[in-house]
């Protein structure tokens, strides 16, 4: 059995060695190590799938005292996904001039920290991992050292420090109540708590921090600045939007499960998820910057995932988990191809970019595949996850809500596709082979994840999901109708709505974001006291 700490320490050790020992083969050695680590993650996944959870307590301490790492089927899949995406990003950026030893050092450390977040079973260890990863992400955002990226990176750092202060206070209360911070132990001890009201304050403190890390409304203003900052490398935007923000969603799953014996807040987050999804696509529709459109749309997709996780249904739960994987894949493709488009056209303004399909057909084809995935087109991966989320809804109004969310997604990407139309009289552009390879692999997953959705869910999670042909055809019909509405709306209505320009100008300051965090905490605390008093 492969030790779980390997997935945390191995990337960090390789990062340190590659930084200290500089050779012309550093990138090749790192890539080889990444392939080895991915193979190890597959072995661990197979082990967990066949034999159940793996728990490792470092230092031979008793459970609940030492540093505990735990791999269940979901965390094993997420670790595998993390290593796959980081490997793809290294291949994609292999020949970039800024891909130096310092960049690789920070990039690989981030990989190890993300693996640690997925595997850690201790609240304080999670706090440390999140804080350190926040610092690393901030440096990566500011890596090219222009004034805008430095501002965005510092804003991201300070906001997350404020949020994680709430988290630290919450786990301090948990330690005072239970005497340890191991989440599995706390879950088993929850039933012995005589007064559940004593847990309201730590729950609200922790869930406020997790909601900000997940970019739940209204705590999402930091995300577009971090993920779409002007000089941030495309692979950083892809990792942050496709993968790192999912750490918050994963922690949301773990925290909700830990408190489930005493609190049921699924109805609250059902509403919050829906509102986040709607507000996300409205802000995405308002943007003219390519990366900001994609960044705001990440918020919308997170809202959809939170919505699905809160439906208390097996289909919607695994549909949401599958959508986390799908979103990581098609959003990575979209950010990578957006980076290529921006470099070639030397602008991020969608209104100034035309004829992309004629100029770069290869990039366009796989961008279309990713868009078909994110909009839930039949036979693409997003259609399976969205179908399962919708199947778990138990009243008609939720079905209409999900249709509205997907209609918003389609509207956003009808606008996004406008830059592919038109003629281009210059020379065609074809990306380097390494970039083609990554885009092709990830773009193909968008299709494979659709036509083999049932088999993949069975393979990854040991769960039998039945997709009825009639239900799937109904969804295909709704998608086609939504697509027609989206095209008509964009061509004849969208440009006449001036409110989108006003929304585009909304940009919260640091003080305003801190106020929204306090407001969110106050709302959650008041609501919990009302429900459980």
CA–chain centroid gap for 445, Å, is 17
Distance CA 369, CA 467 (A): 22
Q: 68-71 and 54-57 as β-strands: parallel, antiparallel, unpaired? A: antiparallel
Distances (CA, A) of 252 to 38, 215, 259, 471, 486: 26, 11, 11, 30, 32
Q: What angle do the packed helices 26-51 and 101-119 form, to 10 degrees?
A: 10
Three-state SS for 75?
helix
Output the pTM of the full model. Answer: 0.94
Q: Which pLDDT score, from 0 to 100, does residue 46 have?
A: 94
Distance CA 307, CA 91 (A): 34
DSSP states along 35-66? HHHHHHHHHHHHHHHHH--EEEEGGGPPTTTS
Distances (CA, A) of 32 to 26, 91, 93, 115, 316: 10, 11, 15, 18, 38
Three-state SS for 120?
strand
Q: Which pLDDT score, from 0 to 100, does residue 65 have?
A: 67
Q: Please, is 457 exposed, middle or buried when counting C-beta atoms within 10 Å of its C-beta (0-12, 13-18, 19+)?
A: buried
CA–chain centroid gap for 472, Å, is 26
Q: What angle do the packed helices 314-345 and 73-92 form, to 10 degrees?
A: 10
Whether the link from the prior residue into 268 is cis, omega within 30° of 0, is no
Q: Which pLDDT score, from 0 to 100, does residue 144 have?
A: 74
Distance CA 81, CA 128 (A): 22
Q: Which pLDDT score, from 0 to 100, does residue 321 have?
A: 94
> Which long-range contacts (C-beta less than 8 Å, at least 24 apart) are formed by 56-59?
56/3, 56/4, 56/5, 58/5
The residues, any chain, with a CB within 8 Å of residue 447's CB and separated by 6 or more, are 369, 373, 379, 380, 381
Distance CA 321, CA 115 (A): 17
CA–chain centroid gap for 372, Å, is 18
Q: Which pLDDT score, from 0 to 100, does residue 191 have?
A: 81
Q: Do the Cβ atoms of 461 and 318 come closer than 8 Å?
A: yes
Distance CA 17, CA 7 (A): 16
Q: Do the Cβ atoms of 514 and 219 come closer than 8 Å?
A: no
Tally Cβ neighbours within 10 Å of residue 301.
25
Q: Which two tokens stand for residue 193?
A: 């708590």
Element (H, E) at 338: helix 314-345
CA–chain centroid gap for 185, Å, is 28
Q: Do the Cβ atoms of 327 and 270 come closer than 8 Å?
A: no
DSSP states along 164-208? HHHHHHHHHHHHHHHS--BHHHHHHHGGG-S-GGGGHHHHHHHHH
Q: Do the Cβ atoms of 185 and 63 come closer than 8 Å?
A: yes
Three-state SS for 508?
coil
Q: Which two tokens stand for residue 75?
A: 């965390």
Residue with tokens 């997170």: 302
Q: What is the DSSP letter of 69?
A: E
From first to last of its 533 residues, what are the pLDDT tens digits of the chain?
Answer: 788 999 999 999 998 988 888 777 888 889 999 999 999 999 999 999 998 898 888 767 666 667 888 999 999 999 999 999 999 999 998 888 777 888 889 999 999 999 999 999 999 999 999 999 999 999 888 887 777 778 888 888 899 999 999 999 999 999 999 888 889 889 988 888 888 888 999 999 999 999 999 989 888 888 887 877 777 788 998 999 989 999 999 999 999 999 988 998 999 999 999 999 999 999 998 888 899 999 999 999 999 999 999 998 888 999 999 999 999 999 999 999 999 998 888 888 898 888 889 899 999 999 999 999 999 999 899 899 998 998 877 677 888 888 899 999 999 999 998 898 877 777 788 889 999 999 999 999 999 998 988 899 999 998 888 888 887 888 888 899 999 998 998 888 887 887 877 787 777 888 888 899 999 999 999 999 998 87
Q: Which pLDDT score, from 0 to 100, does residue 392 have?
A: 77
């Amino acid at each position: 059995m492969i030790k779980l700490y390997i997935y945390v320490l191995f990337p960090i050790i390789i990062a340190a060695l590659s930084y200290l020992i500089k050779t012309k083969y550093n990138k090749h050695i790192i890539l080889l190590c990444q392939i080895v680590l991915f193979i190890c993650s597959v072995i661990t996944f197979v082990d967990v799938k066949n034999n159940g959870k793996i728990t490792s307590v470092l230092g031979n301490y008793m459970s609940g005292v030492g540093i505990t790492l735990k791999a269940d089927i979901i965390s094993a899949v997420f670790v595998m996904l993390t290593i796959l995406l980081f490997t793809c990003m290294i291949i994609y950026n292999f020949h970039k001039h800024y891909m130096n030893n310092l960049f690789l050092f920070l990039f690989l450390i981030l990989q190890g920290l993300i693996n640690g977040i997925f595997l850690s079973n201790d609240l304080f260890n999670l706090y440390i991992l999140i804080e350190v990863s926040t610092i690393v992400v901030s440096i990566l955002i500011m890596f090219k050292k222009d004034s805008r990226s430095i501002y965005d990176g510092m804003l991201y750092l300070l906001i997350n420090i404020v949020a994680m202060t709430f988290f630290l206070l919450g786990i301090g209360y948990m330690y005072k109540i239970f005497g340890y911070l191991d989440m599995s132990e706390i879950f088993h001890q929850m039933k012995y708590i005589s007064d559940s009201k004593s847990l309201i304050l730590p729950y609200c403190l922790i869930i406020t921090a997790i909601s900000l890390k997940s970019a739940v409304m209204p705590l999402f203003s930091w995300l577009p600045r971090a993920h779409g900052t002007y000089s941030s490398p495309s692979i950083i935007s892809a990792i942050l939007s496709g993968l790192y923000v999912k750490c918050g969603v994963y922690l949301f799953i773990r925290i909700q499960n830990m408190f489930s014996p005493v609190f049921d807040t699924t109805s609250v987050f059902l509403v919050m998820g829906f509102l986040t999804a709607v507000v996300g696509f409205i802000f995405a529709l308002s943007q003219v910057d390519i990366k900001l459109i994609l960044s705001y749309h990440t918020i919308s997709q997170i809202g959809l995932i939170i919505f699905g996780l809160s439906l208390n249904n097996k289909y919607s739960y695994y549909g949401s988990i599958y959508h986390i994987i799908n979103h990581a894949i098609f959003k990575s493709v979209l950010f990578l191809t957006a980076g290529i488009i921006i470099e070639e056209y030397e602008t991020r303004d969608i209104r100034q970019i035309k004829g992309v399909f004629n100029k770069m057909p290869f990039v366009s084809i796989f961008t279309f595949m990713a868009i078909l995935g994110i909009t839930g087109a039949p036979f693409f991966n997003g259609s399976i996850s969205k179908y399962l989320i919708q199947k778990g809804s138990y009243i008609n109004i939720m079905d209409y809500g999900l249709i509205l969310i997907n209609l918003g997604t389609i509207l956003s990407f009808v606008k996004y596709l406008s830059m592919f139309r038109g003629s281009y009289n210059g020379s065609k552009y074809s990306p380097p082979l390494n970039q083609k390879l990554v885009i092709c692999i990830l773009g193909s997953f968008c299709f494979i994840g659709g036509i083999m959705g049932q088999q993949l869910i069975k393979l990854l999670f040991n769960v039998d999901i039945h997709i009825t042909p009639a239900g799937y055809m109904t969804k295909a019909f709704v998608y086609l109708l939504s697509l027609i509405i989206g095209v008509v709306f964009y061509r004849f209505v969208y440009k006449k709505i001036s409110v989108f320009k006003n929304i585009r100008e909304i940009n919260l300051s640091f003080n305003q974001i801190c106020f929204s965090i306090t407001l969110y905490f106050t709302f959650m605390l008041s609501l919990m006291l009302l429900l459980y008093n």
